[in-house]
Every structure is written in structure tokens, then in C-alpha cells.
Amino acid sequence: MSTVVQSPDQSKVEPQRPWAVKRVVRATNGLRLAVFAVIAAGITLVTPLANADGWALAFLLVNLAWTLATAARLGAKERRDAIVRVVVSSLAFLAFVPWLSIFVSTALKGYKGLYPGYLFNDMRITSYDDELTFGGVGHAVVGSLIMVAIATILTLPLGILSGIYLTEIRGRLTFLVRFIVQSMAGVPSVVAGLFIFATVVQSMGRYSGLAGGVALAVLMLPTVSRTAEEVLKLVPDDLRSAGYALGARQWRTALMVVLPTVRAGLTTAAILGVARVIGETAPLLLTSLNTNGFVWNPIGGTLGSLPTYIFAMFMYGSEYSVARAWSGSIVLLALVLFFFLLARRLGGRNERRTRVGVGKAASTSAGTK
């Protein structure tokens, strides 16, 4: 009796992933790390190790000790594997420590000023050293978003165009364009601010959000166009050839084949640029200054922003105003974090969508006999 199957196996089978790390294993690992974290916290209490950095070091040492202890009863290969793994993940963790300690200390110093109305109020009727339950940072968030939006609208097309010039057209000026973009990345932000002050602010006769946005754009352009170029370079030449072989002209191919392929990457380029400039202070002090109330008009006059808010609060120097500066820093960090997460989300989702699309296309073409 040879195998003959009339129709697909209809019995219900559950998909499995035997190669994935088992949930139990992952749970025990997580639990172990949590226990170690607590032990490390205990160590920081009784030894000279202190603060976030001390805790991180203690945590690492506990982990290393545990690995060495358990590795003793493994085979040579497994032992090497375990030790290399803990060393590599420790180094990764070490890189994470500065981030952690910035975040933790900002959070510790700034949490007092956070209250539900903080994001929606402004400082028009509240003075800088009022109680922390008054006033807020809403106007600064709005101002920052307005200026960053202006900067994005200006730089995204320019950045993508220069990326296309550098990777698709590869004209005679490639070297020059790349050189200029790279040296723009080295322009100090205060110089960019001065330049916009001398051009936009002086010709308009007043400080404005527009000037601030343009100054940010000057700083954002190198990041965006570098990232766009890198992303466009990743498009395989096969795709371009396929476009040309269909009789498409170069610019049609770039527009309809190459750009859509890297949509996710270009989104990332834009958001990396935003994250780069959202905390810039110096150029804004020269172009948009600061306000204490909500301003929605980008050309009407001075415009508040998060960095200048933080700067002004620090300069004021009273206990409550400094606390406000730290709270503003939390909001700024949260905003940057939000943009990074957005970049990951948008990038990831696009990728998944295309993958599913490819699968569908293949199965439909397979269905037509």
C-alpha cells in the first residue's frame, strides 16, 4: 500500500515553534533576573556601591557569579557558551547604564512637579516659583511640536531628494553634495541659530516660531539626508533593473519602485532627525525665544518650547522653578522616547505589511493554474 491521500489532512493540529525558547524557561530567567535585581539593590544598601550605577555594577557581578557557579558543572562547550553569553549581555547592559542613570535621576528629581494638569496648562498666570500644583508645560510642548513640524516639512523632501541624488542619479556633484551634507553635520547649533538670526529674524523684524523651525531644519537636514542615503543604498540593484526593464525612466523607477520599498526606513530617517533636534536649545534662544502662554501662530512673535522652558526655569533658580525644569525634562525625554517608539512601530508595521502582501500574491498566483 503506497501513500495516496485524497485531500489534505483535516485533523486539527496546533502550530508549534519547537525552536523558540520555552515559556517556562523564559519565565524562570525573568524571575531569576528579578531576584538578582533585588539582591543587587540590597548590596547597594550595605556596601559603598550606591545609586543607579552602583546598582548596575552589583547586578552585573551577581549575574556573573551565578553563571560561573552554574557553569562549573557543564561541559566545556556549554560552559564557553554560557560565559560568552553573560559577558556579551553584560556589555550590552553596561551600554545601557548611562541611559538608565540619566532617566532615573531625571525621574527622581522631576516627578514632584508632575500632576494631571501639567501637560495642559501654561505659565501665563503662574509665576516660576509658585507651588508645583499650578501652571504647566503645555505651551512649551505645543511650541516645540510646531517648530519641529516646520523643520520636518522643510527637511524631509530635501533630505530624501539629496538621498536620491546620491544613490540614484549619482551625478557629477555627488562628491560635493555628500561633502556639504557631512560638513553641515558639524555646524555647531549656536552658529546655525546665529545664521538664522541674521537672515530670517532680522529680515522679518521679529523673533518667531518659523525662524526657530528653520534653524532646527538646518541642524536636522544632515541627519535626515544621511539616513535616507543609507536606507536607499540598501535597495537591491535587481529592483532598479526590474523597473528599467519594464521601460520605466529613472525618475519613475526611483519614485514608484525604490521609494515605496524603503518607506519604513524613510520614516525612521525623519523621526531620527526629529529626535536629534527636539532638545536643541541654543538656536531657539536666538530665533524663537520663549513665552509663558500658549501661542499657535508660528509667525506672530516669540514662541515657547520645551528646551527654552527648561532653560528659563533653571536660570530663575528658585527651588520650585528648578523642580519645574526637571519635570519639563521628563516631558522632553518622554517626547523623544515617544518618537523613537513611533519610528519602531511605523517601520515594523510597514515591513510586516509587505511581507504578508508578498505571501498573498504568491498564493494567489499559485492558485491560478
Partner 1 sequence: MMQRTMNMTNSDLETTGRTSDPMSEVTSFRGLETRSVHAWFGKHHALAGVSLRFPERTVTGLIGPSGCGKSTFIRLLNRMHEFIPSAAMAGSVLLNGSDIYDPSEDPAMIRLKVGMVFQKPNPFPAMSIRENVLAGIKLAHLKRDNHDDIVEQCLTRAGLWKEVKDRLDASGGSLSGGQQQRLCIARSLAVEPQVLLMDEPCSALDPGSTLRIEETIKELAEKITVIIVTHNMQQASRVSDFCAFFLTDGGPGYLVEADSTRKMFTNPSDPRTADYVQGKFG
Interacting residue ranges for partner 1, rule: CB under 8 A: 1-5, 7-9, 11, 13-19, 22, 355-356, 359, 362-363, 365-367, 369
d(C-alpha 105, C-alpha 249), whole Å: 55
Q: Is 363 in the site for ligand ATP (CB under 6 A)?
A: yes
What angle in degrees, to the nearest 10, is found between the helix axes of 263-277 and 319-367?
180
Give min distance, CB of 363 to partner 1, in A: 6
- Cβ atoms of residues 215 and 233 within 8 Å: no
Q: How many CA atoms lie within 13 A of 38 on its CB side?
A: 5
The window from 14-22, 139-147, 310-318, 357-365 that contacts ligand ATP (CB under 6 A) reads 357-365
Residue whose CB is nearest to ligand ATP in the complex, by number: 359
**Cβ–Cβ under 8 Å, residues 261 and 189:** no
Nearer to partner 1, 21 or 72 (CB): 21
Question: Least distance to partner 1 from the beta carbon of 21, Å?
Answer: 10
Of 203 and 363, nearer to ligand ATP (C-beta) is: 363
3-state secondary structure of 260: helix
From 238, 366, 368, 369, residue interacting with ligand ATP (rule: CB under 6 A): 366
Provide the minimum distance between the beta carbon of 238 and partner 1 in the complex, in angstroms, as a whole number.
Answer: 11
Query: Which of 188/359 has CB closer to ligand ATP?
Result: 359
- The window from 101-109, 152-160, 251-259, 361-369 that contacts ligand ATP (CB under 6 A) reads 361-369
9 binds, among partner 1, ligand ATP, none (CB under 5 to 8 A by kind): partner 1
Residue (5 or 45) nearer to partner 1, CB: 5
Q: Please report whether residue 359 would count as binding ligand ATP according to CB under 6 A.
A: yes
* Min separation Cβ 233 and partner 1, Å: 16
Cβ 268 to ligand ATP shortest distance, Å: 23
Among partner 1, ligand ATP, none, residue 16 binds (CB under 5-8 Å by kind):
partner 1
Q: Are 288 and 119 in contact (CB under 8 A)?
A: no
Give 152's Cβ-side CA count (13 Å radius): 19
The SS3 call for residue 250 is helix
Quick one: 2 or 203, whose CB is closer to partner 1? 2
Instruction: Return the sign of the alpha-carbon dihedral for residues 25, 26, 31, 32.
Output: positive
- Count CB neighbours of 183 within 10 A: 10
- The DSSP symbol for 301 reads S
Nearer to partner 1, 203 or 365 (CB): 365
The HSE-up count of residue 204 (CA atoms within 13 Å, CB side) is 19
Stretch that binds ligand ATP, among 186-194, 260-268, 340-348, 358-366 (CB under 6 A): 358-366
Alpha carbon separation from 179 to 161, 162, 166, 225, 363 (Å, rounded)? 16, 12, 11, 12, 47
In the complex, what is the shortest distance from the CB of residue 341 to partner 1, in angstroms, rounded to a whole number? 20
Count of CB atoms situated within 10 Å of the CB of 90: 17
Q: Which three cell numbers stand for residue 313?
A: 526655569
Residues interacting with ligand ATP, by CB under 6 A? Answer: 359, 362-363, 366
